[in-house]
Homo-oligomer: A and B are copies of this chain.
């Protein structure tokens, strides 16, 4: 395990993007997005993923110099063609537009098609939160999740993020996949040789399996099976609700933008790397148009306090609020540095060699 300082990791990551001709501001956004994920304890979406972006830029799936283009626009809405650019730059552009519209018109609703993986959904809802607006961010993603009663990966983990400001305490920060677990959790169980809990994943026949290696191999080779939606298998625990939320995200992102949806996302043709075709959805709301901001933030704090002060289950000491664990990690890593797995550290070093970037993290 390596421990690295945030500033050094930021600088290095930014430098990698600069080698592709990305301008300083955009390279900063890409680095900021990845490093924020690490800072919040979501390493699956942190610099561990830099290799995939580098590969994408190398093989032409990501066209880092392309600028997003507004296809349709009103005072309140916009639809953007991401032009296969970097998802972070496209997402930042779209979110900035949603924020501008919310400030001018009360609401900003922006859809995006033809983008790439945009990192954590919460990066964009955090941008909206920074302006004291109510923020929503969603994206579809490469297929990993099977519908209820199915055995074919049709959906991505299609995350939803919602942020809302509060007074005298950390804001509410939800950022969740609509699948029961992310792929990363299966990888952890596989490394540790532990059986999966029933109801996380199904095999190539659509039957629940506890074998993480089998599921991961099937995912990789698209042999059938995949991760289950939130609520698990079948109808007993309402897996069709998680499946419904995955469609919800796909409609607002993929269908509303006129982009790719369901298993069209990231489907390769003729063995050639296909465009990722990821679609996003962003919404910013000016709270003041509904209720004054002071009332809203006071009530948000009261809501969260009331939750945390409610009676605990026996043997539980703490009821968590969404974002709370991430804030704790963020403060800790700010002081102590960010832990990186050796494998991730080595991969960053090899990227440095490949891109001829100074490696001093």
Chain A contact residues, CB within 8 Å of chain B: 72, 74-77, 79, 105-107, 109, 111, 134, 146-152, 154, 160, 162, 164, 172, 174, 176-178, 180-181, 197, 199-200, 202, 205-207, 224, 230-232, 236-238, 240-242, 244-245, 247-248, 250-252, 254-258, 261-263, 285-287, 289-291, 295-296, 299-300, 303, 306-307, 310-314, 316, 318-320, 322
Cα–Cα, bound, A230→B152 (Å): 23
Decide: A105 near B79, CB < 8 A? Known: A180-B238, A296-B258: no
Q: List 7 A-B contacts (CB under 8 A).
A: A77-B289, A151-B313, A177-B241, A206-B316, A231-B231, A255-B300, A258-B291
A187 to chain B, nearest CB (A): 16
Say whether A313 contacts B202, CB under 8 Å: yes
Q: Which residues of B contact A76 (CB under 8 A)?
A: 76, 105-107, 289
Decide: A247 near B172, CB < 8 A? Known: A232-B237, A240-B320: yes
- A175 to chain B: closest residue by CB: B244
Decide: A176 near B241, CB < 8 A? Known: A106-B76, A258-B290, A291-B258: yes
Cα–Cα, bound, A236→B180 (Å): 9
Decide: A311 near B176, CB < 8 A? Known: A230-B231, A290-B256: no
- B106, B303, B316: the one contacting A250 at CB < 8 Å is B303
Question: Counting chain B CB atoms within 10 Å of each CB, which of A147, A172, A207 scores highest?
Answer: A147
A335 to chain B, nearest CB (A): 26
Number of copies: 2
Q: Which residues of B contact A107 (CB under 8 A)?
A: 76-77, 107, 109
- A208 to chain B: closest residue by CB: B313
Q: Which residues of B contact A162 (CB under 8 A)?
A: 248, 251
5 nearest A-B pairs in the assembled complex, by CB-CB distance: A206-B313, A258-B291, A149-B316, A152-B310, A152-B311
- A105 to chain B: closest residue by CB: B76
Q: A148-B320, A150-B313, A262-B307 are in contact. List 11 more A-B contacts (CB 8 A).
A: A77-B290, A107-B109, A134-B252, A150-B311, A151-B313, A162-B251, A172-B247, A197-B236, A206-B316, A256-B287, A256-B290
